Amino acid sequence: MSTDTIFCVSEQPAQRSALGNQLAAAFADYSLVLAATESAAIAYLSDLVSQGAEVPLVIVDQALAEAPWMQTLYQHFPGALALVLSPDLDTPLKTVMPPEQIYRRLALPWAEADLLFTVGEGLRRHRQDQQLAQMQTTLAARVSARKMSL
Protein backbone atom coordinates (compact mmCIF):
# COMPACT_ATOMS: atom_id res chain seq x y z
CA MET A 1 0.00 0.00 0.00
CA SER A 2 1.15 3.51 -0.76
CA THR A 3 2.42 5.84 1.93
CA ASP A 4 0.61 8.66 0.13
CA THR A 5 -2.18 9.99 2.31
CA ILE A 6 -5.25 12.06 1.59
CA PHE A 7 -5.66 14.15 4.74
CA CYS A 8 -9.18 15.37 5.54
CA VAL A 9 -9.96 17.82 8.34
CA SER A 10 -13.51 18.87 9.18
CA GLU A 11 -15.31 19.67 12.41
CA GLN A 12 -18.57 18.39 10.88
CA PRO A 13 -19.16 14.66 11.55
CA ALA A 14 -21.42 14.32 8.49
CA GLN A 15 -18.73 15.83 6.25
CA ARG A 16 -16.03 13.53 7.64
CA SER A 17 -18.28 10.52 7.19
CA ALA A 18 -19.17 11.46 3.61
CA LEU A 19 -15.53 12.14 2.74
CA GLY A 20 -14.47 8.82 4.21
CA ASN A 21 -17.18 6.86 2.41
CA GLN A 22 -16.75 8.58 -0.95
CA LEU A 23 -12.95 8.66 -1.04
CA ALA A 24 -12.12 5.23 0.40
CA ALA A 25 -13.52 3.25 -2.52
CA ALA A 26 -12.40 5.62 -5.27
CA PHE A 27 -8.82 6.10 -4.03
CA ALA A 28 -7.99 2.73 -2.48
CA ASP A 29 -4.28 3.16 -3.30
CA TYR A 30 -4.10 6.05 -0.83
CA SER A 31 -4.30 6.06 2.92
CA LEU A 32 -7.10 8.22 4.23
CA VAL A 33 -6.87 10.20 7.47
CA LEU A 34 -9.91 11.98 8.90
CA ALA A 35 -9.38 14.54 11.67
CA ALA A 36 -12.13 16.37 13.57
CA THR A 37 -10.21 19.20 15.21
CA GLU A 38 -7.12 21.33 14.85
CA SER A 39 -5.38 19.46 17.69
CA ALA A 40 -6.27 16.09 16.16
CA ALA A 41 -4.89 17.29 12.81
CA ILE A 42 -1.59 18.24 14.45
CA ALA A 43 -1.38 14.84 16.19
CA TYR A 44 -2.06 13.02 12.91
CA LEU A 45 0.56 15.16 11.15
CA SER A 46 3.12 14.12 13.73
CA ASP A 47 2.27 10.46 13.11
CA LEU A 48 2.44 10.89 9.34
CA VAL A 49 5.85 12.58 9.56
CA SER A 50 7.22 9.82 11.81
CA GLN A 51 5.93 7.17 9.37
CA GLY A 52 7.58 8.90 6.41
CA ALA A 53 4.24 9.35 4.69
CA GLU A 54 3.58 11.85 1.92
CA VAL A 55 0.49 14.10 1.91
CA PRO A 56 -0.25 15.13 -1.67
CA LEU A 57 -3.71 16.50 -0.88
CA VAL A 58 -5.46 17.95 2.14
CA ILE A 59 -9.23 18.43 2.14
CA VAL A 60 -10.24 20.95 4.76
CA ASP A 61 -13.35 22.89 5.67
CA GLN A 62 -13.01 26.64 5.36
CA ALA A 63 -13.02 27.36 9.10
CA LEU A 64 -10.08 25.02 9.70
CA ALA A 65 -8.28 26.22 6.55
CA GLU A 66 -7.99 29.55 8.32
CA ALA A 67 -6.48 28.02 11.49
CA PRO A 68 -2.79 28.05 12.54
CA TRP A 69 -2.37 24.25 12.24
CA MET A 70 -2.06 24.76 8.47
CA GLN A 71 1.41 26.26 9.07
CA THR A 72 2.46 22.96 10.64
CA LEU A 73 1.09 21.08 7.63
CA TYR A 74 3.09 23.16 5.15
CA GLN A 75 6.27 22.98 7.24
CA HIS A 76 6.21 19.19 6.88
CA PHE A 77 4.47 18.81 3.51
CA PRO A 78 5.23 21.95 1.48
CA GLY A 79 3.97 20.42 -1.76
CA ALA A 80 0.55 19.43 -0.44
CA LEU A 81 -2.35 20.85 -2.41
CA ALA A 82 -5.47 22.00 -0.57
CA LEU A 83 -9.09 21.44 -1.50
CA VAL A 84 -11.11 23.82 0.68
CA LEU A 85 -14.76 23.01 1.40
CA SER A 86 -16.58 26.35 1.48
CA PRO A 87 -20.17 27.20 2.39
CA ASP A 88 -19.90 30.38 0.32
CA LEU A 89 -17.44 30.63 -2.55
CA ASP A 90 -17.86 34.42 -2.65
CA THR A 91 -16.38 34.83 0.84
CA PRO A 92 -12.65 35.58 0.69
CA LEU A 93 -10.46 32.85 2.11
CA LYS A 94 -8.19 33.99 4.95
CA THR A 95 -5.61 31.28 5.26
CA VAL A 96 -2.04 30.81 6.38
CA MET A 97 -1.33 28.38 3.54
CA PRO A 98 0.59 29.52 0.49
CA PRO A 99 -1.93 30.75 -2.12
CA GLU A 100 -0.38 28.59 -4.83
CA GLN A 101 -1.17 25.50 -2.77
CA ILE A 102 -4.93 26.13 -2.83
CA TYR A 103 -5.91 23.73 -5.57
CA ARG A 104 -9.62 24.48 -5.52
CA ARG A 105 -12.52 25.56 -3.36
CA LEU A 106 -15.51 23.24 -3.48
CA ALA A 107 -18.98 24.48 -2.57
CA LEU A 108 -20.91 22.82 0.22
CA PRO A 109 -22.78 20.60 -0.18
CA TRP A 110 -20.67 18.98 -2.86
CA ALA A 111 -21.70 16.55 -5.56
CA GLU A 112 -19.87 13.24 -5.18
CA ALA A 113 -18.83 13.21 -8.84
CA ASP A 114 -17.36 16.71 -8.48
CA LEU A 115 -15.47 15.72 -5.33
CA LEU A 116 -14.03 12.57 -6.89
CA PHE A 117 -13.03 14.35 -10.10
CA THR A 118 -11.44 17.23 -8.20
CA VAL A 119 -9.51 14.94 -5.86
CA GLY A 120 -8.33 12.81 -8.78
CA GLU A 121 -7.13 15.86 -10.69
CA GLY A 122 -5.44 17.27 -7.58
CA LEU A 123 -3.55 14.02 -7.05
CA ARG A 124 -2.58 13.95 -10.74
CA ARG A 125 -1.30 17.54 -10.52
CA HIS A 126 0.74 16.70 -7.43
CA ARG A 127 2.35 13.74 -9.25
CA GLN A 128 3.13 15.96 -12.24
CA ASP A 129 4.67 18.62 -9.98
CA GLN A 130 6.88 15.96 -8.39
CA GLN A 131 7.92 14.56 -11.77
CA LEU A 132 8.73 18.05 -13.05
CA ALA A 133 10.87 18.81 -10.00
CA GLN A 134 12.71 15.52 -10.45
CA MET A 135 13.33 16.23 -14.15
CA GLN A 136 14.60 19.73 -13.33
CA THR A 137 17.03 18.28 -10.79
CA THR A 138 18.24 15.68 -13.29
CA LEU A 139 18.65 18.31 -15.99
CA ALA A 140 20.59 20.61 -13.67
CA ALA A 141 22.92 17.73 -12.77
CA ARG A 142 23.46 16.90 -16.45
CA VAL A 143 24.17 20.53 -17.32
CA SER A 144 26.63 20.75 -14.45
CA ALA A 145 28.35 17.52 -15.53
CA ARG A 146 28.49 18.72 -19.13
CA LYS A 147 30.07 22.03 -18.06
CA MET A 148 32.68 20.14 -16.06
CA SER A 149 33.56 17.99 -19.08
CA LEU A 150 34.17 20.99 -21.32
**Residue 7: which H helix or E strand, with range?**
strand 4-9
Question: Which runs of E-coded beta strand occur in 25-128?
Answer: 31-35, 54-61, 81-86, 102-107
Q: What is the CATH number of the domain that holds 112?
A: 3.40.50.2300
pLDDT tens readout for residues 57-74: 999 999 899 888 998 999
Q: Lowest-pLDDT range, 16-20, 36-40, 64-68? A: 64-68
Chain-wide mean pLDDT for the chain? 93
Domain of residue 57: give its range.
4-149
Categorize the per-residue pLDDT at 1 as very low, low, confident or very high, splitting at 50, 70 and 90: very low
Counting the structural domains of the chain, the total is: 1
Q: Is the pLDDT of residue 49 over 90?
A: yes
DSSP state at residue 99: G
